Structure 1
Amino acid sequence: MARFVLTRHSPLPPADCWARLTCWPRHGDRVPLTRVGVVRGTGRQLGDVVLARTALGPLRFDDPMELVEFAPPARCRLAKRGRVVRGGAELLVRPVGAGSEVVWAEELRITGVPRLFDPAVALAGRLLFGRVLDHLLAAPPPATG
């Protein structure tokens, strides 16, 4: 299984970091050819499902992620339950001084990709999801309705 951990420090308070991290559609803003949305529930409760759908013409796959732990504003765990992508992700937010420390950890298994390539998959994950995390923390706060 490919594993990686990203850590960022933000001047934002934990509640603001949490709101940005759990604004699920914004995750797709920096993932090429991918849209992200909540397909079951509100995206704020155990059992809710967030779906990342990647498509290029007729080639497409879904990455459904079930919320298996949701403890605002500190911890969220998602189980990846797709046919192509399996594993899980954990998002942590901790207060540090007047700001926050944000940790994004993932374990990925991509169907059809030999374990020999786990280091390459982890590197790609660090690069891709590092862009997503940086974007989320820099983005304006999500609108609340």
Structure 2
Amino acid sequence: MKSNKILNLLIAGIALIGGILFIRIFMEDTEAIETDVAIQNSVISPLIYFSTWLLIATVVVAIGLSLLSLFRNPENLKKTLGGLAVLAALLMISYFLADSDAVYNAAGGIEPGGEAGSSVNRWVGAGIWYSIILGGIASLFFVWDLVKGLVK
């Protein structure tokens, strides 16, 4: 119960700070905000910094709590590591399926950075193959679930 109160106070504080920063923007003239750099820095920059730090804090807390939950439950940790191993194996397969040929534009010239043997080309191709493989697996599971539902 006490942690609920602390969480509610934290949420209220974050909302209050965000609201104040947002209202400060509406108090300024629109034209002045668009043209005056000093007003932009004094009014808009704090909201952007606050939002950025709030996003970073949220990501850190979410990842931290997820890892804590995994380490507290070894069975879930084994399942997660197994899933990551399967994904890594699929990434390796897609990397070997990808080519690193030159990338040509519509005029028949080689695109800048698209030379033959480029590692960027290889990783882009691997990403495409990875998406195709994962999409195919997802489609198979979708069809399997659909058939299973029809049989019931």
With the shorter chain as reference, the TM-score category is: under 0.3
* Larger proportion of strand: 1
* Larger proportion of helix: 2
TM-score scaled by length of structure 1:
0.25
| Larger RCO (CA under 8 A, 6+ residues apart) | 1
| Larger Cα-atom Rg | 2
